[in-house]
Amino acid sequence: MTPEQFERLQGIFERVRSCPRADQAAQLDVECAGDATLRRVVERLLDDDERPHAVLDQPPVAAAPLGAGIDGVRPDEIGGYRIIDVVGVGGMGVVYRAEQERPRRPVALKVIRPGALTPELRRRFDREADVLGRLQHPGIASIFEAGRAETAYGEQPFFAMEFVEGRPVTEAIRDHDLDLATQLELFARICDAVQHAHEQGIVHRDLKPGNILVDAAGAPKVLDFGVARLVAGETVAATAHTAPGQLVGTLPYMSPEQVAGDPSLVDTRTDVYALGVLLCELLTGRLPHDVQEKSLPEAARIIRDEEPTRLGVLDRRYRGDLETIVATAVERDPSRRYPSARALASDVRHYCRDEPIVARPPTTLYQLGKFARRNRILVGGVAGVIIALAIGTIVSTTAFVGVSRRAEALRRSHYVKDIALAESSYRNNEYERMHEALARCPEDLRHWEWQRLTYLSDRSDLVIPAHRNAVRCLAIAPDGTWVASGGNHATGVPVADRDTTIRVWETRTGTLRLELRDHRIGVGVLAVSPSGTRLASASAKRLRDEPADAGIRLWDTTNGRLLQRIDPAVTRVAALAFDGETHLVSGGGDGRVRRHDLTTGETRVIGRHQWDVTDLAVGPDGTVASSGWEGEIHWWDRDDAIRVWPGHRPAHCRSLAARPDWSVLASCSRAEIELWNAASGVSVGRLIGHTDMIERVRFTPDGRSLVSASHDGTIRVWDPIAGVDRRVLRGHRGRVIDVAVGPDGRTVISGGVDGTVRRWSLESPGDVMTILESATELNTVRWSPDGTRVAFGGDDGIARVHDAIRGRELRRLAIPGASLYSMSWHPGGDELAIGTYDGRLIIWPVDGDRTPDTRQAHDGPVWTVAFDPAGRRLLTGGGPGTLAVWNVAERVPIHSIAGHEAPVRQAVWDAAGVMIVTVSEDGTIAGWNAGDGTPRFRFGDRTRPYTAVAFDRTQTRLFVGDTTGGLRVWNITRGNVEHDLVVHESDCYGVDVSPDGRRLITSGDDHRIKVLDAETGEDLLRWTGHAGTVFQARFSPDGHAIASVGADGTARIWRTVDPVP
C-alpha cells in the first residue's frame, strides 16, 4: 500500500465513521464508487474500530467464566487428556490445563469453541499446529500432539503442547527486579528462540510480552504461533493469504510494513522490529510509539510515517550503544534493521561484554536526507538552499580529511549485515533478496564468506534469459541437443508485453535456434515426439475475461513450421504426451484424457478424472498414467482398461512421472513426493525435503534418480531407493516451474518465474563435497602444499591421500593399532608426517615406494606435528607436556622441551622458522626459540585448557582456541588479550588462518565451522559442517576452499569456486 493509498483509505474511514450508523452504507457507496476491495477494507476497519481490539491491548473477551470452558461447561476429558482447569478463554477458543496419562505430564490443551469453528479458523488452527511441529528449541513451547476428538459438541480440533507455568516477560522482569545484564541476557535468549523459528522458515508476526513467558527457572518461552507466516513452507500460500489492508498482529509491536497491510512485505525482519519494541519496553516500561489512545488508522499512520522515540529520550541512562541497538532494530526501513534475530542478539551480547557493537548511529547525511524527505516544501525554498550548502560543506570536508575510522567501521558493519542477510535469505530460499544483499557488499571487503554465498546462490552452468515473463513449460530433445521453452504471462501484464512464444535453444551454448509463434495467451504445456522431429504445444490457462486458446499445435522442429492444429474438444489442455510418432495423448481441464490419432485426426476419450488432469506419462507399450487435481492417479492399458488409485486424496496431485521400466510411479502433492508400486498401486516411499509446492517430477533415463522442481526456488535430485536428496540445485530467483532431464542423465534443464532457462550438470561438485566416509572418527586433515591433494587420518589407523578435485583416493597407509591424531605435509609435498595416539611419529614418503619411517616420539598422544617452513626440521608435541624438534634428514631429535604441566595440544612455527609457539591443556601459551628451545614468553591464567593456535599475518598476534568454546586473540608484543570471543558452545578444536591472513576459521564440538574477520573477530559466517564434532577445518593453499573432518567419520570440502581439473 502506497502512502497515497493509505491517506485516501484513512480519509474515507474518518468520513464514514463520522456519519450516523444508519447513513454509513450510503456514504460508503459514494466514497468507494464501486471499488469492492476498498469497501471491504473500510468495512473491516469500521468493525475493528467499534469493538474492543486486542491490538490496542484491551482486556480479552471472556466468552465464559474462567474455569468453565466451552459454553460455561468444563469437560472432563478431550482426546484422552484429563481436563484440570481453564487457563484462558477467548472469542474463538479455550486453553485448558490438562494432564496426559502416558507419559504422565501436564499439558496445555488448545481447542476451538464449537460456535467459532469456521473453515478459515480451522485452517488457521491446523496451521498453528503444523508450525509448532517444525520447532524444536528450548525457548519455544513444544507441541506433543494434534488431532480431533469426538465431544458432546461434535468433532473438536485440539492440540496438546508443553504447559508453561510462567509470567509475561515484562512482569517477570519487574517483579524480580532483574539487573540490566540479566535482563539483556534474557532478551538475547528470546532472540535465539525467534532465530530458530526463522531458520525453519517461520515468521511469528505477533511477538509481544503476552506471548513470551518466563518460567520459574528464569527461562523464556515463546508462545502462540497462531498468525505465524511461513516464508518458505508448504503452506505459504495459506499463511500468506492476508487480505489487503488486514492487520495481523498486535499494533504497538507491529512494523511499518505490517501496518501497510501487504503480507508480501513481511519477513524475518518484521519480527526483528517487534523484538526492538519489546527491548525498549523491557528497559523503560514504555513503547517507541505511543498509540494507546489512538484510533486504529491513526495508530497505523504513526507507526508507518513517524520516527520511533529514541531509547535515550525515554530514559537518559540508555544513551549510547543500547540506544543504537534499539534504534537499529526498529528502523522503519527493513533494509536498515538487523538482518536477523541472531544479529540483534549478538549485538546485545557484545554490549554486555563491553565489546564494540556492529550497529552504528545514523550518519549526519542520512539524518539530513530524512529531514529533507519529511519537509519537501521547506527544502524547496530558502531553507533547502541552506541545507544543500550544509550538505555540500560536509561532503567537501569529508573528502578533504579522508574517510574517518568511524565511517570505515560503519561500512564494515553494513557489510556484516548484508552477509548475514544473504545467508538468512539463502536458508529461506529467498534468492532475489540474497543476490541483492551480496551485490551491495563493497568489493574490497568481499572475502571467503561472500565468495561462498555467491557460489551457493547459483550453481547452474548456463543461464538463458528465455522469456520476458515466466517460463511455464519445457521439453528436451531425445538426443539432448536442444530444449524448447514456453513463455507465459500473469495477471496485470499488458498485452504488448506478453511473451507467448515457444523458443528452441541449443542445449550446449544457449543459442536460439527457432522461435515459434501462434499462441495468444501463453504456452502451458509442451511435448516432443520420440524422434525429436515434432513438438506439440497447448496454451496456458486463460486469465479472466480472455478468450480461450485451446487448440493443440504441432510443429516441425527442424524448421519451425506449424504442421497442424488439433481441436482438443475442450477449452483448456493441461497435459500432453506422445504415444509413439502417430498418436498424442492430452489431458483436459474438463478431467478427460484423450488419445489423438495424428494420421486420421480422430480423437477418442479414454478416461476421466473428477477434476483437471495435471500430468501424463505414456509407456512404450501405450500404457497411460495420469494425475488429477482431485488427487487420484489413473492407469489405462492399451485396451483402455482402467485402474484407479486414491493417490493423494483429498490433496491435489500436481505432477506424475514413470520410471523408464514402469516399475515405479512418482507423484507430488504440496511439498511431498509419493512413490508407488506400479503393479499394485501401493505406496512404497515418500520423499520429503522441499519447503513449498512441487510443480514437476521427472525420472532420469536410468531410473536411479528423480528430479523435482518446487516453488521454494530449488531443484532436488533424489535417490528414490534411499529416500534422500543427493543434490539441491539453487539459482532461480523465484519459483521453479518445470524441469527436464537430458538423455545422458547428467544434465538437468529448468525454467522458472524469473524468465530464465538454466542448465545444471549433475557431475559438477555439490554444495559440499564429501570425499570420505569412514566408520570411525576422523581427527586430522591437511592440504598438500600445491592444493591438489588432501590427507586425512582418524581412529581406524589409516592415513589417506585423496585427489582434492575429483575426490578419489590416491594412496593409503594402514598403521596397525594406531589412532591418527595429527598430520603435516613436507613443503616439497613428497612426505607426510603423522602423529599417533600411542606416541609414534611416522614419516610417510607419499610419492614413492619407500618404507615409512617410524619413531617413538612421546610417552603419550602426539597431538601435533609440523614441518618448519624450509622442511629441514619437524616438531612434535604431546603428553606429558613435552615438545621435540627433529632433524628431518637424519630422523633424530635435535632437542626437546618439557615446558608444560599438561599435554601440548598444538605447536606452530612462525613464518621465519625461528620461533615455536605451543598451547597446552594446562591453560598456558608459550613461545620458544626454535634453535635451542629456550623460552621467549608465557601467557595464560590457567583457567582455560587451550586446544588450538594460529599466527596472524603480521606474526604479532595469536588466535588461541580453548575447551570452553572461547577464542582469545593474544598480542605477543604486549602480552595482553585484544579480543576474548565465544565462538562455539563448548570445545573449540581447530583454528586456521587464510593464506592472505584476512580470515580465520574455527571448528568445534557444536558441529559448526565458523568464518571470522581476523582483524576484528567479527562472526561472518557459520554453518553446521558435520553430524558430530568438527575436529579440524583448514583453508586450501589458494584460500578458495576449506577441508574439514569430524566425529561423524566424514571428510568434506567446502568451495567458493568449482575446481579446474
Q: With both helix axes pointing from N to C terminus, report the angle between 296-305 and 3-17 in degrees, rounded to the nearest 10.
A: 160
Q: What is the CATH number of the domain that holds 89?
A: 3.30.200.20
Q: Same structural domain for residues 243 and 387?
A: no
Q: Same structural domain for residues 468 and 538?
A: yes
Q: Same structural domain for residues 923 and 1031?
A: yes
List the domain range (segments joined by +) for residue 495: 460-566
Q: What global pTM score does this model have? A: 0.63
Q: Same structural domain for residues 206 and 323?
A: yes
Cβ atoms of 1035 and 437 closer than 8 Å: no
pLDDT, position 907: 97
Q: Which single residue is written with the C-alpha cell 628431518?
A: 888
Cβ atoms of 965 and 984 closer than 8 Å: yes
| Per-residue exposure over 538-552, b if at least 16 CB sit within 10 Å of its own CB, e if not | bbbbbeeeeeebbbb
Q: Which single residue is written with the C-alpha cell 498401486?
A: 681
Cβ atoms of 707 and 698 closer than 8 Å: yes
Q: Same structural domain for residues 773 and 915?
A: yes
pLDDT, position 833: 98
Strand order in the sheet with 683-688: 655-658, 664-669, 672-677, 683-688
pLDDT, position 56: 27
**Between the CA of residue 816 and those of 439, 688, 796, 799, 819, what are the distances in Å?**
53, 42, 9, 11, 9
Which of 359, 380, 408 is the C-terminal boundary of a domain? 359
Strand order in the sheet with 462-465: 462-465, 756-761, 747-752, 736-741
Domain-embedded: residue 491: yes
Calpha distance 435→452 (Å, rounded): 13
Calpha distance 578→535 (Å, rounded): 9
Domain-embedded: residue 572: no
Cβ atoms of 635 and 625 closer than 8 Å: yes
Q: Same structural domain for residues 390 and 435?
A: yes
Q: Same structural domain for residues 110 and 173?
A: no
Domain-embedded: residue 254: yes
Residues 6+ apart with CB under 8 A from 770: 1050, 1051, 1052
What sign does the CA torsion over 597, 603, 607, 613 have? positive
**Angle value at C-alpha 15, between 10 and 20, nearest 5 degrees:** 135
Q: Cell numbers of 658, please?
A: 514413470
pLDDT, position 152: 66
In the 8-state DSSP scheme, what is residue 140? B
Q: Cell numbers of 858, please?
A: 612421546
**Between the CA of residue 398 and those of 364, 370, 407, what are the distances in Å?**
12, 20, 10
**Mean pLDDT in consecutive groups of 10 residues from the start of the chain, 1061 residues:** 53 71 75 73 64 32 38 74 82 81 84 70 74 79 81 77 87 85 93 87 87 88 73 37 51 87 81 95 89 77 89 85 93 90 90 79 47 48 50 49 69 88 82 89 96 94 93 96 86 64 96 93 92 92 58 94 87 91 92 92 90 91 90 81 70 89 92 90 90 93 96 93 90 93 96 95 87 92 97 96 94 95 97 97 91 94 97 94 95 92 96 96 96 93 93 96 95 92 92 97 95 93 91 97 96 91 67
Q: Same structural domain for residues 989 and 956?
A: yes
Q: Same structural domain for residues 980 and 1017?
A: yes
Segments in 618-768 forming alpha helices (H): none
Domain-embedded: residue 680: no
Residues 6+ apart with CB under 8 A from 335: none
Q: Same structural domain for residues 377 and 353?
A: no
Count of other CB atoms within 10 angstroms of residue 711: 23
pLDDT, position 802: 97
Domain-embedded: residue 1013: yes
Domain-embedded: residue 685: no
Length reported for the chain? 1061
Burial class (CB in 10 A: 0-12, 13-18, 19+), 57: middle
Which of 397, 426, 457 is the C-terminal boundary of a domain? 457
Which of 162, 185, 209 is the C-terminal boundary of a domain? 162
pLDDT, position 86: 86
Cβ atoms of 599 and 611 closer than 8 Å: no
Residue 979: HSE in the Cβ half-sphere, 13 Å Cα cutoff: 22
Strand order in the sheet with 143-151: 77-78, 81-89, 93-100, 105-112, 154-162, 143-151
Q: Which single residue is written with the C-alpha cell 515459434?
A: 516
Q: Same structural domain for residues 419 and 520?
A: no
Q: Which single residue is written with the C-alpha cell 502451458?
A: 524
Domain-embedded: residue 866: yes
Instruction: Provide the domain count of the chain.
Output: 6
Q: What is the CATH number of the domain that holds 918?
A: 2.130.10.10
pLDDT, position 164: 86
pLDDT, position 117: 67
pLDDT, position 1005: 93
Contacts by 570-573, CB closer than 8 A, 24 or more apart = 570/594, 571/542, 572/524, 572/538, 572/539, 572/541, 572/542, 572/548, 573/524, 573/525, 573/538, 573/539
Q: Enumerate the β-bridge partners of residue 738.
A: 751
Cβ atoms of 593 and 609 closer than 8 Å: yes
Cβ atoms of 629 and 614 closer than 8 Å: yes
Burial class (CB in 10 A: 0-12, 13-18, 19+), 84: middle
Cβ atoms of 456 and 425 closer than 8 Å: no
Burial class (CB in 10 A: 0-12, 13-18, 19+), 141: buried
Residue 645: HSE in the Cβ half-sphere, 13 Å Cα cutoff: 24
Domain-embedded: residue 801: yes
Q: Which helix (H) or strand (E) holds 289?
A: none
Q: Same structural domain for residues 528 and 383?
A: no
